[in-house]
Chain A
Amino acid sequence: MPRLHKTRRILTWLTLALAGVLALGAGLHFGGFAGDRNVTDRRGTDAGAIFGLALPDTLGHEQSIGQWKGKVLIVNFWATWCVPCREEMPEFVKAQREFGGQGLQFVGIAIDDAAKVKEFAAELDLNYPALIGGYGAIELSRALGNRLGALPFTIIVDRSGHVNHTQLGPIKEAQLRSIISQLL
């Protein structure tokens, strides 16, 4: 009888220790020690704030981002006056062409003048919507993690409407494709 009791006690403490290690590991992983990239925990943030947004396109027609719910949605905040923004867009056009049929949807939100956006979109043969946002759109991006309100800022939303990844600054093609393939 006493022996069984002792074994049980050891097992209990071992299990607790395991629980502690797991919890610590989860905390470290989410708390920002995952490699040299700045990883922050925004656990399954609901993309509701993005889906509720409605902005005009270059033809002046209001587009609600909610219409793309269910897609793997990549919302990219950019501007023609932002050179690094312009430089990464050809790779978005390419990805949209390749994966659009599988449910990938890029949406650009330009903090810009509609005429300039239209001109640049034509030059690039843009194959995804270019919406025009004012500085209010930058404020929205701040709420979604764009601490500095800078551009480009990209949010990737999975099919169930949760934010999967955010990026301030250009997103490398390899990383973009890796995320896309995981979510499609």
Chain B
Amino acid sequence: MTFRTALVSTFAALMATAAPHVTAAEPKLLEPERAFAFSVQAVDDKTVEARFAIASGYYLYREKLKFSVEPAALASPPMLPPGTIKDDAFFGNVETYRGQLAVRLPLDGAEPGRKVTVRAESQGCADAGVCYPPQVQHVTVALPAPGGRPGAPVAATPARKSWFN
């Protein structure tokens, strides 16, 4: 190791510090699948319940919630519970949900003991100041036989797994 080599290494290191760099800023945020954790429970042979466990500091828009099932169909439009109404400067009255949201989905033409897949569309935001694009999630559950016990709730699988969630 010569002095000259050492000098060149120092010069290179100095150049590294001078390279143009980029800053990036981002608030601490959950992946949408964690902020709006979706699950479904088969309640009886004709009904499933779709649930969102909305993390604290996040909310969903009522207007953007859509449910569908396959095979079979919804016997009637889902009964959405009342949310919180806010006056939005651009859209007027806007209804949102926080915390636990449960929506009963009555089924039409579903075979008892068979599986149905529930598809949920949702769109929500974080109080931290970001809005997520609309999300689509699917959960498949087995319906109990008539008179049978409700199934266990089934959670939607996260889209991406990481060490931290």
A13 to B3, CA, bound (A): 8
Interface-facing stretch out of A68-76, A82-90, A100-108: A82-90
Contact B123 A169 (CB under 8 A): no
Contact A169 B27 (CB under 8 A): yes
A153 CB to nearest chain B CB (Å): 8
Q: Is A11 an interface residue (CB 8 A)?
A: yes
| In the complex, chain A residues whose CB is within 8 Å of the CB of B16 | 22-23, 26
A168 CB to nearest chain B CB (Å): 4
Contact A44 B22 (CB under 8 A): yes
| In the complex, chain B residues whose CB is within 8 Å of the CB of A64 | none
Q: Is B145 an interface residue (CB 8 A)?
A: no
- Interface size for B (C-beta < 8 A) is 39
Contact B31 A148 (CB under 8 A): yes
| In the complex, chain B residues whose CB is within 8 Å of the CB of A86 | 89-90
Contact B25 A167 (CB under 8 A): yes
| In the complex, chain A residues whose CB is within 8 Å of the CB of B10 | 15-16, 18-19, 22
Kindly list 6 other residue pairs between chains A and B, CB separation below 8 angstroms, not including A19-B13, A82-B131.
A16-B1, A81-B123, A151-B133, A165-B23, A165-B25, A169-B130
Residues of B participating in the A interface, judged by any CB pair closer than 8 Å: 1-3, 6-7, 9-10, 12-14, 16-17, 19-27, 29, 31-32, 61, 64, 88-91, 123, 125-126, 128-133
Residues of A participating in the B interface, judged by any CB pair closer than 8 Å: 8, 11-13, 15-16, 18-20, 22-23, 25-26, 29-30, 37-45, 79-86, 111, 120, 123, 135, 138, 145, 147-152, 162-171
